[in-house]
């Protein structure tokens, strides 16, 4: 936020862009209220200043992806589709860009949510082809997430092909483990637990539930230890400062 204040005076586009990116992170962390707070403040002004940025297309994609996901979660499918289409159209001349595949996936997820599997499947297969050929199937990067396997899982659940659904959900979880993503490991462990319980495979469902809570506890413990270490370090610095001043 300090960086944003510096840019406000000398380059207003980047000031409002920094605020918008804060909204993107809040959306990713699941804090929808704070995400909308930043988006509603920053994006209208950002749109009016977009001509000042040489990287408008890429910056806009971050917002459209986040807005599409938020709208999808809120079951506002029309708006979710609109933002997914923005991403696709912005990168259709550069279909090797990762955002193009993300746009295809988002559009497919809207169709899955509206029970239109025949419209969703071609988008999923195109996105998967791009992911496998260009990004080695990687799901997470420093600035984007491409959950192709999870999208295919949702598709096969919709068409009641549970064997294929299981395959892609396990594949998604395996990828999350390989990429050391705690966030997605938790997401997929929870989904695996629900999937097997719904399929009447109670033992497997229980196993994944146990794994989910074990990982959750491990993460919370690590976060707690980090906060303690951070506090001790800050206290040490404060004590040193006080010694200097006395």
65-69, 75-79, 189-193, 234-238, range with the lowest pLDDT: 234-238
Euclidean distance between CA atoms 21 and 28, whole angstroms: 11
Digit-coded pLDDT (tens) for 108-128: 999 999 999 999 999 999 999
pLDDT of residue 18: 77
- The yes or no reply on domain 77-180 and CATH 1.10.10 is no
pLDDT of residue 169: 98
pTM of the model: 0.80
Euclidean distance between CA atoms 15 and 35, whole angstroms: 16
Segment 133-144 mean pLDDT: 80
Q: What is the DSSP string of 190-227?
A: HHHHHHHHHTT-HHHHHHHHHHHHHHHHHHHHHHHHHH
Q: Regarding predicted confidence, which is higher, 176 or 232?
A: 176
Q: What is the DSSP string of 130-161?
A: HHHHHSTT--B-SS-B--HHHHHHHHHHHTT-
8-17, 168-177, 190-199, 231-240, range with the lowest pLDDT: 231-240
pLDDT band at 141 (very low <50, low <70, confident <90, very high): confident
Domain ranges of the chain: 1-54, 77-180, 181-246
């Amino acid at each position: 936020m300090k960086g944003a204040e510096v840019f406000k005076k000398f380059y207003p586009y980047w000031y409002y862009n920094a605020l918008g990116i804060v909204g993107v992170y809040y959306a990713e962390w699941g804090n929808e209220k704070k995400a909308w707070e930043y988006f509603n403040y920053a994006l209208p002004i950002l749109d009016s200043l977009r001509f000042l940025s040489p990287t408008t297309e890429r910056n806009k994609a971050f917002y459209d992806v986040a807005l599409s996901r938020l709208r999808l979660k809120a079951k506002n499918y029309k708006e979710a589709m609109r933002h997914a289409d923005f991403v696709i159209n912005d990168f259709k001349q550069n279909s090797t860009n990762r955002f193009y595949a993300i746009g295809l996936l988002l559009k497919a997820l809207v169709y899955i949510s509206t029970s239109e599997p025949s419209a969703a499947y071609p988008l999923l297969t195109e996105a998967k082809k791009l992911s496998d050929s260009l990004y080695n199937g990687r799901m997470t990067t420093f600035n984007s997430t491409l959950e192709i396997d999870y999208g295919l899982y949702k598709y096969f659940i919709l068409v009641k092909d549970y064997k294929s659904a299981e395959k892609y959900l396990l594949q998604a979880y395996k990828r999350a483990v390989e990429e050391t993503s705690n966030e997605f490991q938790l997401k997929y462990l929870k989904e695996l637990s629900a999937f097997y319980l719904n399929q009447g495979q109670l033992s497997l469902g229980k196993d994944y539930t146990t794994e989910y809570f074990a990982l959750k506890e491990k993460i919370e413990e690590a976060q707690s230890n980090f906060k303690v270490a951070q506090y001790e370090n800050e206290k040490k610095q404060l004590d040193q400062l006080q010694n200097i001043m006395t």
